[in-house]
Copies of this chain bind each other. A is one copy, B any other.
């Protein structure tokens, strides 16, 4: 890759909000659930040296372990002869190679190759799927293969996997089962196991105590916090030793709305998960290898790396929950917002939409339904220059809560009254986002039943959007002009919350205006299907007004202002974001230069060409700067805009920018946080350890059926089933 291999990446099952994070040197990764960042524990992957029996080389995912410090807590006078001499070292950096795939992460050093398999595959709809399929799909485990080439060595060599758990409440322990498994675990929540015949496991203050035990009886030294599963490879052989790594949280996972992890219905405990994972490992491994091959062929190395890194971070934030109500069992799909852990942040949902529509459209429906039933509200609106309140309408919360707490109905975790910047309301943006998600879900799945069930909501969103333009129909221009009463005199913001006014302010914002146009233009069709002619006409007329307002705002050179009519002359790339929705909805006539909105399309393309040609929307390294007035750029949005530019506007792929964007993630200061979104001139200062980068999957969306193409690239032709609604 040209970059150091030592960057953290998530390795996560789907829906477990759990991760084996590793890649950085030192104790800066490890196994964890529900955290906002890496667990900072030691992760051990090592092999006995061929020439020095009893000495070991490891991938460098741990700091020099100071057993003496742990022992000193007990042995206050330093009388013990307990400590083992150091025998576990890092491989030299130069010997370590890494290849990051979408479903694999392959490390080689010396005679050792480690591959971690994290499948990308459809998640069946829990409302209709067979328990057997759900058990397989929700399995909270990963497969790790250690391949040892001992063919030229005439001695047996030990190879091992392990960790020093960071959970402060429960200690590590090790055990063997009567059916041939060797385990290590911390409490009931994280564990590793193998079924390799010549294996054992143990716990101690230092890895040496388990690798070179003075007495077999000393292997269960559970005062120590380092656990290893150790296997012995015979002389003059090559062996692949398979491990599983698992996570388990059996109890109440969330407050506000009480729920457990869905997998807890299908597995009794972590031992059950590990045995199941090892039993089904071949299927997982084969799927992962095939997927990697396909994606790399499609994308080339730099983009394949970016997509792989982003999808891994996405899965680390995903959570499939299950609860019980009077009406029976319910499931909820949640994507946690990386380091912020806000639940189903709507302005992320709308970007992650494409990936989910391709793989699991039911999750989109599931999230939209909870927004309607729990996380919506009806407000009033006001003009910035008056205190008078007018009818607003339906709006949606920014999120559903934070860190496993569902906030109260009608309230997000994030939004606060009385503000004009970060933490203010995103009423209009989230309203637009519901509309876009709902339209794309309906277009893609043709789920007419769901459309009909939501007849009222589809109508309400158009009325509400129009009122946020202007409560007086005669004064409307299609663009948001009124703020929600929830702001209490403050001002609404957009998803670009910590950017300056050019993208941060919602009212008259160019980025939001184009998305609003897309929402109006797309919802019209569904309202007609529902027979709501009056509202369909309103949507159509608003779409027209909005397109006209945007097109008319271009200055004489063709630049569009970031904030329409407010004298903000920042140059914005995300002006073109909204074009993605008609395209993915299959409504290409809406974005055709010759179509009904040809003027808008041409204006946006001209604007885009100008801002890119101006150089003001680039950093020195060639990376894209979303707003000319801010050094804060969002990688997820860049990926999306790249797709629009290349696939919709027909611009060539900007490979220099691709390399720059990848270099941002590889930056020494950023590498700890796995995939991060917000970059201040290439440094991750916020939105770290983040899920939103799956917009990169758009790069796989080509041809007449872009979501179908994305799905096929991800899960293959053969394994692709009928879309489960």
Interface residues of A (CB under 8 A from B): 33-36, 71, 73-77, 79-82, 168-173, 175, 185, 187-188, 214-215, 217-218, 220-223, 250-252, 255-256, 269, 339-342, 401-405, 407-408, 411, 413-414, 416-423, 486, 488, 497-500, 504, 630, 632, 678, 680, 685-686
B215, B408, B497, B504: which contacts A220 (Cβ < 8 A)? B408
Partner of A80, one of B74, B168, B255, B419: B419
Given A71-B422, A416-B82, A422-B82, the answer on whether A256 and B173 have CB atoms closer than 8 Å is yes
Nearest Cβ on chain B to A314's Cβ, whole angstroms: 20
Report A33 CB to chain B, min CB distance, Å. Answer: 7
**Minimum C-beta distance from A127 to chain B (A):** 26
Secondary structure of the A contact surface, majority rule = loop
Distance (whole angstroms) from the CB of A474 to the closest CB of chain B:
33
Q: A214-B418, A252-B188 are in contact. Are A79 and B169 (CB under 8 A)?
A: no
Task: Establish whether residues B255 and A74, one from each chain, have CB atoms under 8 Å apart when the complex forms.
Answer: no
Of chain B, the residue at the smallest CB distance from A341 is B171
Query: Contact: B417 with A342, CB < 8 Å?
Result: no
Which residues does chain B contribute within 8 Å of A76, judged by CB atoms?
Answer: 498, 632, 678, 680, 685-686
C-alpha spacing A216/B346, complex, angstroms: 24
Complex interface: chain B residues within 8 A of A402 (CB): 171, 222-223
Across the interface, which residues of B come within 8 angstroms of A185, CB to CB?
255
Inside 8 A of A413's CB, which chain B residues have their CB?
A: 221-223
| CB pair B215 A488 closer than 8 Å | yes
> What are 6 A-B pairs at a CB distance below 8 A?
A75-B498, A77-B630, A82-B421, A173-B407, A188-B251, A250-B251
A423 touches B80 (CB 8 A): yes
Question: For residue A421, which residues in chain B have a CB less than 8 angstroms away from its CB?
Answer: 75, 79-82
Q: Which residues of B contact A498 (CB under 8 A)?
A: 74-77, 79
CA distance A221 to B423 in the complex (A): 10
Hey, which chain B residues are within 8 Å of A250, CB to CB?
A: 251-252
Best-buried of A36, A75, A339, A341 by chain B (most CB within 10 Å): A75
What distance in Å separates the Cβ of A259 from its nearest Cβ neighbour in chain B?
Answer: 12
Tell whether, in the assembled complex, residue A73 and residue B686 are in contact, meaning their CB atoms are under 8 Å apart: yes
Query: If A74-B340, A77-B500 touch, does A220 touch B417 (CB 8 Å cutoff)?
Result: no
In the complex, the chain B residue whose C-beta lies closest to that of A420 is B81
* A504 proximity list for chain B (CB < 8 A): 79
Nearest neighbor of A269 in chain B, beta-carbon distance: B252
A340 surroundings in chain B (CB, below 8 A): 73-74, 223
Q: A73-B339, A686-B73 are in contact. Are A170 and B404 (CB under 8 A)?
A: yes
A168 touches B35 (CB 8 A): yes
Which residue of B is nearest A204, CB measured?
B416
Please tell me if the beta carbons of B414 and A223 are within 8 angstroms of each other in the complex: yes
CB pair A33–B74 under 8 Å, yes or no, is no
Which of A170, A408, A416, A632 has the most CB atoms of chain B within a 10 A radius of its CB? Answer: A416
Instruction: Give the distance to chain B from A178, nearest Cβ to Cβ, in Å.
Output: 14
From A74, A187, A218, residue with most partner B Cβ within 10 Å: A74
Neighbour of A221 across the interface among B403, B416, B486, CB < 8 A: B416
Across-interface contacts of A36 in B (CB, < 8 A): 168
Most buried by B among A76, A187, A488, A630: A76
Question: Which residue of chain B lies nearest to A33 when distances are taken between CB atoms in the complex?
Answer: B169
Across the interface, name the chain B residue whose C-beta is closest to A421: B79
Closest B residue by C-beta to A216: B417
